[in-house]
Amino acid sequence: MVFFQKHGVNEKDLFRFFSLRNYQFPYHFHRACELIYLNDGQLSVSIDKKEYTLNKNDLAFVFPNQMHEFKTIDCSDITIILFSPELIGDFYMNYKGMIPEDNILHLDNIINFNKLDSIYGKKSFLYSLCDMLVNHTSFIPSKQSTKTKVLYKMLLFIEQNYSNDCTLKKAAKYLNYDYPYLSKLFIQQMGMTFTEYLNNYRISQSCYMLKNSNLSVSEIAFNCGYSNLRTFHRNFRKMTNMSPKEYRELD
């Protein structure tokens, strides 16, 4: 599943969007470009550890492989747009290896997603955002340290294995790194332990499934890597301050 997977983009004309309310998602990255558009409320967004606060009609333009996360402030109604870089081929080639100094745009007009039904409409919309971004900010080279590259491999391992028995010990063996090194690196880079992040990731995925599937709570818990339903309920309440049932029924 779910909506941010996978890191690679197989379809060169990938363009999909979906709405989320009062949602949060931990640090992740992918090859697809991502737009985070705030329909209403407030949202805290972090891109490459740079913090932004989005208000109504603000849009975050996340480039391929930029680390990012978002968290609701009180309440939020957002639309996520994922698309392959090839849809903006000219822009993508001109700014390949670069990232914007400021990823946030403020739109004067509300986006009418119902009109984005043809490939021409989609490209026109995306290129208009590219034009806004070029006129709004400067671009700097994207630099990845050795530690960042290792962290990316760990996050990719979590994405691919969170629904199974996913542990740091297995990640260390798979990536061929020492366990103590990965443990220390993860805490330094993410500000939390591997297990804390894994639980955060699993609960975020379960929130999406609760709102967008008819699976039972126990099925969702299992699909998100929890073999113990009590542990799932405890972690879910710790993150959301409510039960899975209450979250599903929340408007």
Q: Confirm if 109 and 56 have CB atoms less than 8 A apart.
A: no
Split at pLDDT 50, 70, 90, the class of 6 is: very low
Please return the burial class of 60, using the count of CB atoms within 10 Å of its CB with bins 0-12, 13-18 and 19+: buried
Q: How far apart are CA 139 and CA 17, in angstroms?
A: 26
Please give the single-letter amino acid code of residue 4: F
Does 4 have pLDDT greater than 80?
no
Token representation of residue 106: 């403020």
Does 12 have pLDDT greater than 50?
yes
More confident position, 148 or 129? 129
Tell me what the mean pLDDT of segment 123-134 comes to. Answer: 97
Tell me what the mean pLDDT of segment 41-61 comes to. Answer: 96
91: left (phi over 0), alpha (psi -120 to 50) or beta: alpha
